[in-house]
Amino acid sequence: MTTTAQNTPTPTAEPVLLRHAPGRGSLGGVGLVLAGAVSVQFGSAFAALLFPRAGALGTVALRVTLAALLLLAVTRPRLRGLSRADWAVAGGYGLALGGMNILFYQAIDRIPLGAAVTLEVLGPLLLSVVTARRAVSFLWAGLALAGVYLLGRGGFGGLDPAGAAFALGAGALWAAYIVQGARAGARFPRLDGLAIAMAFAALVSLPLGIGSAGGVLLEPGVLALGLAIAVMSSGVPYTLELLALRRLPASTFAVLASLAPAVAALAGYLVLDQGMSWQQCAAIAMVVAASAGAVLMGRR
């Protein structure tokens, strides 16, 4: 589904979330969310390999800035005729996006990837409960929350407090990112809203990265790995998620986002050699069941 391009935005009090929605439980939207989750979590695992050279702030600055440049070059967003409301939506989207990445990279610099994502996903889970319009949605959200708790039950006691706080903060901004992404997807044609938002996020993260890593960011090896991370962790997943938010309601999207700990655990195992216990595998199964139930109920 795509939105119709216009020379000037139509002034509305509140953008319609689903302009051409094929259905609440569209399998196309589900596939976009899952593909985005795989891309971003494996990108995060590879990003952790760059921390010893560029640091967490330097890595996130490379990721966001390079992704912004790529999106701006590809989409060439139309800037003329944008209203103050348009700029406010894009700016809010960008601030949520940039802040989410900064806090998350601070978290995975201190605690394991799987634990960080498990804590971070509490934000979208809370959003799914708040925005749910059916009583059964609380059941699926509750099952997913139980799985998230079980996934981290064995190791949360020894987590660095600052890392856990950063992950929870990233989760709150993830929920804001979902809401703002839905608004941007409905208000802007094509991927214009995402490109503008990424530029805002780059303006926030780049000064922090330069202050932290300095000239290391310009080393060829660091730039090359940063570009790969930008594509995997920002360009591809945010594009897929924006398209998914045009097909799925925010509540269904948020419950699907609870699959992130499962994908992160797999990425941590394959890339960072972080093993999984049977308890964690059972928790992953609970989260998958909750996500499947939410999607099937949405289709009905």
| 1 falls within a domain | no
Which has the minimum average pLDDT: 39-43, 217-221, 264-268? 264-268
Query: What are the percentages of helix, strand and coil residues in the chain, rounded to 5?
Result: 80, 0, 20
As a whole number of angstroms, the distance between CA 180 and CA 199 comes to 15
| 145 falls within a domain | yes
Q: What is the pLDDT of residue 204?
A: 92
Give residue 3's pLDDT band: very low, low, confident or very high (50, 70, 90): very low
Q: What is the pLDDT of residue 271?
A: 80
As a whole number of angstroms, the distance between CA 203 and CA 196 comes to 11
For residue 42, give its domain range.
Answer: 27-299
Give the chain's domain count.
1
| 247 falls within a domain | yes
Strand, coil or helix: 90: helix
Listed ranges 5-19, 52-66, 228-242; the one with the highest mean pLDDT: 52-66
| Mean pLDDT, residues 65-75 | 89
Reported as a single tens digit per residue, the pLDDT across 203-230 is: 999 999 999 888 899 999 899 989 998 8
Among candidate residues 116, 39, 33, 40, the one with its CA nearest the CA of residue 291: 33
Reported as a single tens digit per residue, the pLDDT across 161-174 is: 888 899 999 999 98
Q: What is the pLDDT of residue 152?
A: 62
Among candidate residues 205, 208, 182, the one with its CA nearest the CA of residue 69: 205
| 19 falls within a domain | no
- More confident: 196 or 157: 196
| 182 falls within a domain | yes
As a whole number of angstroms, the distance between CA 41 and CA 37 comes to 6
Cβ neighbors of 101 (< 8 A, separation 6 or more) are: 60, 63, 64, 170, 201, 205, 234
As a whole number of angstroms, the distance between CA 180 and CA 37 comes to 18
